Structure 1
């Protein structure tokens, strides 16, 4: 079955730089918890007074930590306010279109893309500003987690059928916007020239995950988002 790509967006409208690591860790783990379509053992992560469900995959955890470090390095700037973006892309294997039909080959095509926009600010200085900022960040963070939950529950028809029980059926990438290219250029590159190849997929940690697939379609996982206080 051929599916169409879905694109979703998350945004933190004001995020002090010293909170970036925690926010990204929580959002990325939440996305992967719902889109890593293999049997996983749920774990809990405490982020900004909130409990987030995450997978037990060391490959996912290592990738997230690596990309957070890259993001922090790229966004290191003395400017007061700066907008930074990153994307999470999930791919499926499809038969490659061949006009002459002499032979059949396969390629990976993106079926889902998550865009995360962070509007970075300098950390507040006074205690009053810190308290106000923390409250705002926590509220924004919870709202984004709830948005992820709503999206994964509302949008399921585009998820490709799982046709293998050998490892993770859908390779993924986290793309960090660099200073040398525009966002649109980066996304085009990730969708076309830098999409996973069949050769890459057989040797990557993603494809070597040995967990079994439990169903042909994704089902909603019980997700835990527990905040120590209500939003205001």
Structure 2
């Protein structure tokens, strides 16, 4: 059940920040309808990351995990003798996941802070093919260890 909640959070972030061509869908949790992108590759990645963080958190020790969603702009970096591309982060979402051994009220499980302020940070879209015109990634961490998922 907990992995489903983690996946719902990731789907909500990706739906609002993957600015390419998408097919919308919804999922339900905590009696709330959450938007998601209807794409099998994104579903597989989100489920793998959510399962990885949920499995890694040990309920007996109240471990904390973190899902980190990073969006970047690919810019050309020029130097004296060469040029290359570099990903420059323009937004990063840190989703702190804490396992609690006893039930808690649904009203305090989900905390949302406004994403309205971050819209000015989105760089100019240079191309619009695929689900995102920008490079993006999801990392899973428990403590200071990054998990492969």
TM over 0.5, shorter chain: yes
Q: Give 3-state SS (helix, strand or coil) of 1:105's partner.
A: strand
**Structure 1 residue 139: deviation in Å?**
4.2
Contact 2:20 2:129 in 1 (8 A): no
Aligned-partner SS, 2:43: helix
- Most deviating of 106-115 and 29-38: 106-115
How far is 1:72 from its partner? Answer: 2.1
Look up the match of 1:115.
Answer: 94
* Residue 155 of structure 1: aligned partner: 118
Separation (CA, whole Å) in 2 of partners of 1:90 and 1:166 = 16
Shift, 1:68, TM fit: 1.2
2:4·2:50 contact (CA, 8 Å) conserved in 1?
no
CA displacement at 1:108 relative to structure 2: 1.6
- TM-score by length of structure 2 reads 0.84
State the match for 1:83 in structure 2: 64
Q: Report the RMSD for the aligned CA atoms in angstroms.
A: 2.0
Post-superposition shift, 1:178?
A: 4.3
| Counterparts of 2:129 and 2:11, CA distance in 1 | 23
Q: Which of 105, 109, 130 is the aligned partner of 1:140?
A: 109
1:176 aligns with 2:145: no
Aligned to 2:29: 47
* Displacement after TM superposition at 1:113 (Å): 0.5
State the Cα distance separating 1:97 from its structure 2 match: 4.6
The structure 2 residue matched to 1:57, chosen from 10, 31, 39, is: 39
Distance in structure 2 (CA, Å) of the matches to 1:97 and 1:172: 22
Say which structure is richer in helix.
1
Work out the number of aligned pairs and report it: 145
- Higher strand proportion: 2
Gaps of 5+ in 2: none
The residue matched to 1:96 in structure 2 has which SS? strand
Give ranges in structure 1 of 5+ residues lacking alignment.
1-18, 125-129, 187-232
Q: CA deviation at 1:140?
A: 3.1
Aligned to 1:68, which of 33, 50, 63?
50
d(CA) in 2 for partners of 1:61 and 1:138? Answer: 26
For the 8 Å contact 1:92–1:109, the answer to whether it is kept is yes
